Structure 1
Amino acid sequence: MAWPEALVRARFAAAGVPIDGEHPWAIQVRDARFFRELLARGSLGLGEAYVAGVWEAERLDETIRRLLAANLDRIAMPMDALRRAALATAALWRNRQGRRGARAAASFHYDAGNALFRAMLGPSMVYSCGYWRAADNLDDAQAAKLDLICRKLDLAPGQRLLDIGCGWGSLAAHAARRYGVEVLGVTLSREQQTFAARRTADLPVTIRLQDYRDVRGRFDRIVSVGMFEHVGPRNYRAFFDTAAQLLADDGLLLLHTIGRYDTTAQTDAWIDRHVFPGGKLPSAAQIAAAIERRFVFEDWHNFGPDYDRTLTAWWENLRRAWEPQGFAARCGEAQLRRWRYYLLACAGFFRARHGQLWQVVLCKHSRRARYRRVV
């Protein structure tokens, strides 16, 4: 056995992920390229090799959970170390989430086609973690999450709500219809903007194709769901400065974001290249530093384990729809494997507790009303 293969087998076995083993989370290697790809390109090579059919795992989510629980992602394979160092250095000098980069990143993923997202997300068209506390299916979990947000924001008729990164308009529609508020939603995805505008045409909702940094006006409430992951550390303070300028003195801001349990220099290489270019998960320390002297923490709620269940439900929806809805013919096997790897690897990420899901409620120092905590 050559040393690259022996090294990979030993490290994976120590993480509880045997190669060519009998457990459902074991990796079944179909091509010896697997070992070279992993040593040369780390997580990027691991993901690309999976999409290419070089390896398989029956319980891919559990495979990734075990690798992360053993912190194998922190151990750079020999030839991957220089690439990681170069990316970390580049992140210090380049703002990948500037206006041009943000538009390109949004188009890359969110303009993949509304039909595909409808098949995956279901009728709610909500692309963020559901709230499963009292739910036993995805639609109910998403409805519960939308209402949880509205209650945390203490919405009331006549208020103006700014939805930064409004997606397909699910929250805007819910808030306007159930709570009588006027909503401005902004997104950088043309597909989302078209869909959301049509969906909310009969409601006091405006959906714009606009960067949050270009919004003007005054709002009683601000919400951002699943968008802060695209802001980038170089722009965290600018994001909260913008929000502070737009929020009324007695208003509330709710930030719903994935977060890491630690601070890292860059995102996973495979996710960065193939799913969310320029994406970066914040740590709690980064959020706290960015809001200092800008906002006051009213509440910080973590329900990260719910994302494991949400991602698994999305994958089951997509898997069931792939053949009947014609995606197999239009997109091919490699695309299905790419979506499977993305969704189930992320499920493993949350199951390992490396990923969190935070809802943070903030207010200005000028707010005098007492906040009523909602769970």
Structure 2
Amino acid sequence: MLREALFRGPPQDDTRSSKFRVLSGLLAQAGIEVDGPEPWDMRIHSPDLPARLLAQGSLGLGESYMDGEWDADQLDEFFARLLRARLGERVQPARIVMHALSAHIFNRQTRRRAWQVGERHYDLGNDFYAAMLDPRMTYTCAYWKNADDLASAQEAKLDLVCRKLKLEPGMRLLDIGCGWGSLIGYAAEHYGVECVGVTVSREQVEWARARYARLPVEFRLQDYREVDEAFDRVASIGMFEHVGRKNFRTFMQVARRCLHPDGLLLLHTIGKNTQRGATDPWIDRYIFPNGDLPAVGQIGRAVDDLFVVEDLHNFGADYDRTLMAWHANFEAAWPQLADRLGERFRRMWRYYLLSCAGAFRARDIQLWQWVLSPAGVPGGYRRIN
């Protein structure tokens, strides 16, 4: 095996052996072995991998996996263990430090840059996402409380949102970052509301307009900052992760100006446990350009004197199961996608889905639903689960 070859190598390989020992020692703190017997253990295929990982950190970990330099049979559990042990805090190359610093200094989610995530991620192809997602194309965390399959869990989440918003027939609902329209399609069908959805993805607008052509819904290819009209309710499901810390307050101001004084805003977002740091540089480069997960305190500052926080619900553990379901669908559909996308994309996408599943399993990141009102619900807001 490679680890034996490294230890038996000639004197000029002493540096490689030393870096291998350092990497092995770090992984051992997470209960991970190199070439070990467990499905979450790391199998190294390149003698240069330890040096690459120690020099490049999480970016190198993702890129080297895409390059086929290492594997783990159970990648999701590999990451759950890695993140529980907080090993990423012990390998901080200068490149990662600079990435975090730039997120603090610069606005990486300007009106011009906001379209990049639509073009590079959400416009991969509606056929691609249809193969991975549920029939409604819901690309956010499902709610598994009383569900046994992905489609049921996603409809349960959509209904949960509608009930939390206390939707009634005749209301107008704005969905900021509407995706493929699953929420407003469901709300129009089951709650009799009129809906407007905005997104920065051309593919999403095209699909949603065709799917929901007979319903009282409108889909706009539009930056959220341009919306300025009155709605009874506002929702944002899985879009706040693209807003950026420099714009959190702006987002809340837009939502407030669009909301009737007696209305409700539901914010559904992935969040992080600390205000320090920035989005993982591999995720930023290959999956979600310009993404920025909020922390509780950052959202709190953004809503200051704009909204009353009526409810905060964390069901981040459900995202683990959701991502594993997406991964199963992706792998099952791969034979139909392989010729167009190629093996490096497969490894990239597998790494994305399973590393995120591991992060939620480790409780390193969360999924929150916030219910906010402009001036407080008279008599109080009743918690809905």
TM-score (norm 1): 0.97
The AA in structure 1 aligned to 2:29 is A
Match of 2:142 among 130, 150, 153: 130
SS in 1 for 2:121: helix
Contact 1:51 1:337 in 2 (8 A): yes
Could you tell me which amino acid in structure 2 is paired with residue 51 of structure 1? M
Give the unaligned 5+ runs of structure 2.
Answer: 1-6, 8-16
- Matched-pair contact (CA < 8 Å) for 1:315–1:344: yes
State how far apart, in whole Å, the 1-side matches of 2:226 and 2:301 are: 24
Q: Contact 1:122–1:317 (CA<8 Å) still a contact in 2? A: no
Q: Deviations over 1:291-318 (max 9, x none)?
A: 1111001110011110000000000001
CA distance in 1, matches of 2:192, 2:382: 20
Q: What are the Cα deviations for residues 8-55 of structure 1, in whole angstroms up to 9, with x where unaligned? A: 111111211111111110000011232122012100000111111110
Q: 2:56 aligns with which of 28, 41, 61?
A: 41
Bigger CA drift: 281-290 or 229-238?
A: 281-290
Question: Is 1:19 matched up with 2:34?
Answer: yes
Q: Which secondary structure does the structure 1 equivalent of 2:263 belong to?
A: strand
CA contact (8 A) 1:249 1:367 kept: no
Q: In structure 2, what is the Cα distance between the partners aligned to 1:49 and 1:244?
A: 44
Change in CA separation of 1:103 and 1:41 when aligned onto 2, cut-off 3 Å: same
Q: State the shift of 1:369 in Å.
A: 6.0
Distance in 2, Cα, partners of 1:292 & 1:319: 44
- Tell me if structure 2 keeps the 8 A contact 1:249–1:366: no
1:214-225 pair list within 5 angstroms: 214-225=226-237
Match of 1:245 in 2: 257
Counterparts of residues 224-373 of structure 1 (less than 5 Å): 224-323=236-335, 326-365=336-375, 367-368=377-378, 370-373=380-383
- Shifted more, 19-28 versus 87-96: the winner is 87-96
Structure 2: which amino acid aligns with 1:301? H
Matches of 1:271 and 1:229 in 2, distance apart? 12
> For residue 154 of structure 1, what is the aligned residue in structure 2?
166
Which amino acid counterpart does residue 359 of structure 2 have in structure 1? F
Distance 2:97 2:217 in 1: 45
Does 308-317 or 26-35 show the bigger shift?
A: 26-35
Whole-angstrom distance in 1 between the partners of 2:240 and 2:349: 22
Residue 366 of structure 1 and its aligned partner are, at CA, apart by 6.0
Task: Summarize deviations over 1:208-246 as a string: whole Å, max 9, x none.
Answer: 000110012100000000000000111000100111111
Aligned residues: 370
* Letter of the structure 1 residue corresponding to residue 247 of structure 2: N
TM-score after normalising by structure 2: 0.94
Match of residue 22 from structure 2: 7
SS of residue paired to 1:21:
coil
In the other structure, the counterpart of 2:384 is 374
Which residue of 1 is the match for residue 129 of structure 2? Answer: 117
Contact 1:295 1:365 in 2 (8 A): yes
* Residue 58 (str. 1) matches residue 73 (str. 2): yes
What one-letter code is carried by the residue in structure 2 that aligns with 1:50?
Y
Which runs of 5 or more structure 1 residues have no equivalent in the other structure? none
Comparing 131-140 and 7-16, the one that deviates more: 7-16
Q: Distance in 2 between matches of 1:362 and 1:223?
A: 10
**Residue 86 of structure 1: aligned partner:** 98
Please, what is the CA RMSD of the aligned residues? 1.1
**Partner SS for 2:147:** coil
| Ranges of 4+ aligned residues in structure 1 off by more than 3 Å | 366-370
Q: Which residue of 1 aligns with 2:4?
A: none
Per mean C-alpha deviation after superposition, the further-off stretch among 28-37 and 227-236 is 28-37
Alignment partners' CA distance in 1, 2:36 and 2:256: 54
2:190 aligned residue: 178
Provide the rounded CA distance (Å) in 2 between the counterparts of 1:162 and 1:26.
46
Percentage of matched positions with identical amino acids: 52
Equivalents in 2 of 1:94, 1:289: separation in Å?
Answer: 19
